[in-house]
Chains A and B, each alone.
Chain A
Amino acid sequence: AQTVTQSQPEMSVQEAETVTLSCTYDTSESDYYLFWYKQPPSRQMILVIRQEAYKQQNATENRFSVNFQKAAKSFSLKISDSQLGDAAMYFCAYRSSPLFGNEKLTFGTGTRLTIIP
């Protein structure tokens, strides 16, 4: 079974600065997908960014980028120019390739990000 580990329960960053959230995972599969989701107090999980394991290039979405290290099974999220609206719980998630038949997500325990004005 796959596992996802987020070792930072809480992080804080000054507004406009850069912060990196860590995530490691364990799998024996070679093809899979990785995601970062944001969950504000409203509870809705919002997709921030995703990475396909077969792609070597790190994904980027505006101020959000990832550092995907497949051999190390590491998938960190970098948030640049942090904004007050970035404050939320951030979850790293793993999904097997559909070749294995199930699209379910396996989540880490989350990192609570606080933005300091």
Chain B
Amino acid sequence: GAGVSQSPRYKVAKRGQDVALRCDPISGHVSLFWYQQALGQGPEFLTYFQNEAQLDKSGLPSDRFFAERPEGSVSTLKIQRTQQEDSAVYLCASSLGGSRQPQHFGDGTRLSIL
């Protein structure tokens, strides 16, 4: 596709349920990023992939959060045993990689935990 695609656009889950959020980056983009954006705040870095390698996961808030990109393209962010504080917009971005390449963002998934 022409841009970064994220699904679902909205997700409502009950506390304690597991959720999976999908990101389909721009074709050929090497780098992929996940950010968490709480209401009224700026996005905060969660994790970063270069191809299939997860190079940085320092932003993941707890071991309930897990991300993968097994074939170096589509990525999934999984949250286990969701809690209310996980409610946020989850943004995915991709880039060609390298110093001059900007990150292109998807529309995000709004996750609401009841």
- Chain A residues within 8 Å of B, Cβ to Cβ: 4, 6, 33, 35, 37, 42-47, 50, 91, 93, 97-98, 101-110
Using Cβ atoms and an 8 Å threshold, which residues of chain B touch A104? 33, 45, 48, 56, 59
- What are 27 A-B residue pairs whose CB atoms fall within 8 Å in the complex? A4-B42, A33-B99, A42-B107, A43-B89, A43-B107, A43-B108, A43-B110, A44-B107, A44-B108, A47-B102, A47-B103, A91-B42, A93-B42, A98-B98, A98-B99, A101-B55, A103-B31, A103-B33, A103-B103, A104-B45, A104-B48, A104-B56, A105-B43, A105-B103, A109-B41, A110-B41, A110-B42
Q: Judge if B28 is at the interface, Cβ distance under 8 Å.
A: no
CA distance A93 to B91 in the complex (A): 15
CA distance A42 to B9 in the complex (A): 11
With A45-B91, A97-B99 in contact, do A102 and B107 touch (Cβ < 8 Å)? no
Using Cβ atoms and an 8 Å threshold, which residues of chain B touch A93? 42
Using Cβ atoms and an 8 Å threshold, which residues of chain B touch A47? 102-104
Q: Judge if B106 is at the interface, Cβ distance under 8 Å.
A: yes
Q: Judge if B70 is at the interface, Cβ distance under 8 Å.
A: no
Using Cβ atoms and an 8 Å threshold, which residues of chain B touch A106? 45
Using Cβ atoms and an 8 Å threshold, which residues of chain A touch B106? 44
Q: Judge if B18 is at the interface, Cβ distance under 8 Å.
A: no
Q: Judge if B95 is at the interface, Cβ distance under 8 Å.
A: yes
